[in-house]
Chains A and B, each alone.
Chain A
Amino acid sequence: MTPPRLWRWLLHAAAPRADRRFVDADLGDEFDERVARDGAAAACAWYARQARRSIGPLLRARVTRASQALVNLPGVLSMRDLRSDLLFFWRRATRRPLVPLIVVLTMAVGIGAVTAVFSVAEVVLLRPLPLPDSGRIVRFFVTIRNGGTYPSVNYHDFLDTERTSQTLSAAAAFEAQATTWRTDGGPEPLPLVRVGPSYAKVLGVTPALGRMFDAAEFLPGGPPVAILTDRFWRRAFGGDAVAIGRSINLDGVQTRIVGVLPAAEFLFPAAAEIWVPLVIAPDSYLNSRNSTGLSALARVRGDRSVDEARSEIATIGKRLAQQYPYLSGRRVPEIRILAETLAAPVRPTLLLLSAIVVAVLLIAATNIADLLLSDAASRGREFAIRAAIGGATARLARQIVVESLALAAVGGIGGALLAPWLIQALIALYPTPLPRLAEVGVHARAYGVGLGATLIAGLLVSVPLIRAAGRHQLASVLRDGERGSSRRGRRLTSTLVVVEVALSVALLAAGVALARAFATSASSDVGFSPAGTLTFNIAPSDSKYPDSAAIAGFYSRLLPALRQLPGVTAVGTTQFLPFTPGQWGDNFVRVGTSDRAPDLPSTTIQMISPGLPEALGLRVVSGRAFTAADSLAAPRVAMVNETLARQQFENAPLGRDVIFQKITWRIVGVLNDKRHTGVLDPPQPELYVPWEQFGRYTGWVVMRTNVAPLSALPAAKEVLRAIDPTVAMTRPGTMDERVAAVIAPERFRATLTGTLGATALILAALGLYGVMAHAVSRRTHEIGLRLALGETPARVRRRVVRGAIALSAAGIGVGLLIAYWTAPYLETFLKDGATARDAGTLLLVSAVLFAVSVLAAWIPARRAARLDPAQVLRSLG
């Protein structure tokens, strides 16, 4: 007969831990007596009554005791004792420095990494742009039918929008470009932005010196003027106010400086060194309803919301479509908040990075807790003796909290010192340029996060220790040495090992998925041969080469001279280089079909020189390539790529005529498809025209070499200087480098995740080894007995390994759940709808973890199996 189970359980729950078994024993004894004397029913009734009336007093006693502990807290927190606690800790730490040292270093790295990533993510993803009311600054985008979405506008659409909008307080078109700054030291490329009249108002800035542009300066033929950024002003004029009214030579044009912008952490576009007025000449290709070559910003009025502005822009777009029916449906305008457009490209990778840093911190914390726990186990005697000579539990707990916080504090200081370096490392390793880097730095808020992480880490680490210390009952520890009372401690270390295994499964699965993505990208056939190709950009000035004949003359001297260089086998030019920002597209009409506006096919358009296919390694599939004979005087000719031939010409494009930019071009050849925007992006339709016939000449020179490409660079520079010393060579690099750069984010993600996954794997293996080794040494006697009683060594070995497998199986299970659950986030980074829930990957990772666990358990298992029973039993006596 046993007492009513429910009442027994309730009593158990209500009683203070120290009294539980006595309450239980007392009642149990008398219950048995009563069953014998009065019968079961009466005994049960009595037990229930006892329990019911006991719960109240027991709970009240616990509450009273807890509140007394709070009353005693001031004493616990007294400064004098704090000093002695710290001294005690210092003596212990200096006597046996290894564990504290490892803990502090681990914490420093963890806290430093969190601080660093937060510093960058906070600026890039969270902080508003450092411009007045920057949440109201929006950028115009346009979606082109059969095209895509671009951050640009049509100039006339923009003017109409600016005139009629009720929600925008200011709007300004702009065009980010580069010019050549001619100094006494030679030409220097200079990024600039051509801005519309209200540009400064949109950004909310006013010149620190001088003035903004006036109306006359925006008219065609107006005086050439410029406003300098603070950065450029300091570089070019040493920050001297005499700059106002002086002139600088921009691409051969003496340009008067009328103002200097304020020193700001951020201006848009960030790269621009100077501002010049945006002048749209009547005959400019921008001055038509067709092109969308301009960019534009606007500021939403203070009393309107961005959403209101957004719907108004959509309405204006529809109205323009009605007004100009041939445009109808060809393009749809929209606005997006500028800050968000800047963060958008880096957001996913930065979020992945944040998740990984959190994982690092978790692993670090797990390791520290693990380390301190095993350290605490060896401190059992110290705790027990302190308790025995009257050390209150609160004092003991305090000592532990002080020690943990001291460790965390030292780690936190280390982290704070590391953070600036880690930020630099992050920026250096980050595969693409990060926006707003000027603002990135370790600042108060990041240190706040670091401090928070430090405190939390310190307190978290002390909790298991206090629980461990509370267990060290004097009697059992002093009697049994350190074998007795650590079941909960074992459970805790086992849990930590499970966490580590789970984290390594999840990280490794992610790492493998990302590595596969990278491998697919790296082995992708891009359609041309990047190896052995040198490229650089040049922009001969319009003022020096005012007409097509002049510029054609320049190139007819430059290209053959480059071709003559040793090791060079082919030279060509193109306006848009693969895997390099910039491309242009337009609609066109197929002559002899029913193509009518607005429903026209579209294509990207490339202006190339005759040598380009050979220089870049493109193949002529059919027809012919351009030759020197396809000059300005000759009939207009074009080539298409295979995709365009298939999409619009039923694979028979040769001899067909197309019209775009009001000119008719005859298709004479087909080039093979190449990838232009990304190594796995499907080839776009491409229409090639000879750039001499098209008449635009800024762009890329491509040189194919049979030597190391960069070794030809100095000679190429020399050739350029000999032909025209005013032309600056910019952005030199090999095609291999450009391909590497375009897949760098994938390499970065795969390397980072894979490295951390491997680290987690090693830590998990060490953790498993530790737990199993500890279990074996604790159970030496038991194992010795088993061996003495005839159990085979193989069975002993199996038993130990089985223990490790149980732990790692639990970890693998949890890890697979994490991997499954996080897969959708990961798939952002995978191409072509590849899944991160790939069974093969998960199976592989599980198998690796399983193998590693068995391996980690093998050494302790072998030690157990080799125990000499006789020796073990002797040591027992």
Chain B
Amino acid sequence: MPKGDFIGEFELYVLLAAQHLGDDAYGVTIRRRIEDRTGREVAVGAIYATLGRLEAKGLVSFTLSDPEPIQGGRSRKYVHLTAAGRRALNTSTDAMMRMIDARPAPARGRTR
């Protein structure tokens, strides 16, 4: 994870959704997952803007699918968490849990 970068709330949602969805993570499914869980409507543009940012930080990567084998089938941009993305997600969720539980951070966390 790039030094000094915190993951924003919405970025965290997107990463969590992608992690949960696994191989089926792409624009539509990520958006629906967040909408279902938070009960808020999410703009598709926000999803793609955030994905672009996460890619720039090296936390996610994309693969393009072949078009679906039906008339007018579209190709999709699937989202994968990179190793750095998984690490960042763990760090962030750990930190958040500790904040909620008021547990102290492990020693290495402070030196970073």
**Residues on A facing B (Cβ under 8 Å):** 11, 14-16, 19, 21-23, 25-30, 49-51, 53-58, 60-61, 64-65, 68, 475
Instruction: Let me know if B74 and A15 touch, CB within 8 A.
Output: no
Collect the chain B residues with CB atoms within 8 Å of residue A30's CB. Answer: 28
Question: How many residues of B are in contact with the other chain, CB < 8 A?
Answer: 20
Mostly helix, strand, loop or mixed at chain B's interface? Answer: helix
Besides the known contacts A19-B48, A26-B27, A55-B45, 20 further A-B residue pairs in the complex with CB atoms under 8 A apart: A15-B45, A15-B48, A16-B48, A19-B52, A21-B75, A22-B27, A22-B48, A23-B44, A26-B26, A28-B74, A53-B43, A53-B46, A54-B44, A54-B48, A56-B45, A57-B49, A57-B50, A61-B48, A61-B50, A68-B56
Q: How far is the CB of B68 from chain A (nearest CB, A)?
A: 10
Collect the chain A residues with CB atoms within 8 Å of residue B31's CB. Answer: 26
A28 to B76, CA, bound (A): 13
Q: Known: A16-B52, A22-B27, A65-B52. Contact between A27 and B44, CB under 8 A?
A: yes
A93 to B50, CA, bound (A): 43
Collect the chain A residues with CB atoms within 8 Å of residue B53's CB. Answer: 61, 64
A49 to B40, CA, bound (A): 13
Instruction: Let me know if B43 and A65 touch, CB within 8 A.
Output: no
Instruction: Let me know if A14 and B45 touch, CB within 8 A.
Output: yes
| CB-CB contacts below 8 Å: B24-44 with A | 26-28, 31, 41, 43-44
Chain B residue at minimum C-beta to C-beta distance from A49? B41
Q: Known: A61-B52, A61-B53, A65-B56. Contact between A22 and B76, CB under 8 A?
A: yes
Collect the chain A residues with CB atoms within 8 Å of residue B76's CB. Answer: 22, 25
Chain A residue at minimum C-beta to C-beta distance from B67? A25
The total of Cβ contacts below 8 Å across the A-B interface reads 69
**Residues on B facing A (Cβ under 8 Å):** 26-28, 31, 41, 43-46, 48-50, 52-53, 56, 64, 74-77
Q: How far is the CB of B21 from chain A (nearest CB, A)?
A: 14
A809 to B26, CA, bound (A): 48
Q: Known: A22-B76, A25-B76, A64-B53. Contact between A54 and B41, CB under 8 A?
A: no
Q: Which of A19, A29, A50, A51 has the most CB of B within 10 A?
A: A19
Q: How far is the CB of A812 from chain B (nearest CB, A)?
A: 42
Instruction: Let me know if A22 and B77 touch, CB within 8 A.
Output: yes
Q: How far is the CB of B51 from chain A (nearest CB, A)?
A: 8
Q: Would you give 13 A-B contacts (Cβ < 8 Å), ordered by A?
A: A14-B45, A15-B45, A22-B76, A22-B77, A25-B74, A49-B41, A51-B45, A53-B45, A54-B46, A54-B48, A57-B46, A64-B53, A65-B56
Chain B residue at minimum C-beta to C-beta distance from A55? B45
Q: Known: A57-B49, A68-B56. Contact between A50 and B74, CB under 8 A?
A: no
Collect the chain A residues with CB atoms within 8 Å of residue B52's CB. Answer: 16, 19, 61, 65
The 4 residue pairs across chains A and B that have the minimum distance between CB atoms: A54-B45, A53-B43, A61-B49, A57-B49
A53 to B43, CA, bound (A): 6
A51 to B48, CA, bound (A): 12
Q: How far is the CB of A230 from chain B (nearest CB, A)?
A: 70
Q: Which of A50, A57, A64, A68 has the most CB of B within 10 A?
A: A57
Collect the chain A residues with CB atoms within 8 Å of residue B43's CB. Answer: 50, 53-54, 57
Q: How far is the CB of B26 from chain A (nearest CB, A)?
A: 8
A196 to B76, CA, bound (A): 91
Instruction: Let me know if A58 and B45 touch, CB within 8 A.
Output: yes
Q: Known: A49-B41, A65-B52. Contact between A23 and B46, CB under 8 A?
A: no
A53 to B45, CA, bound (A): 7
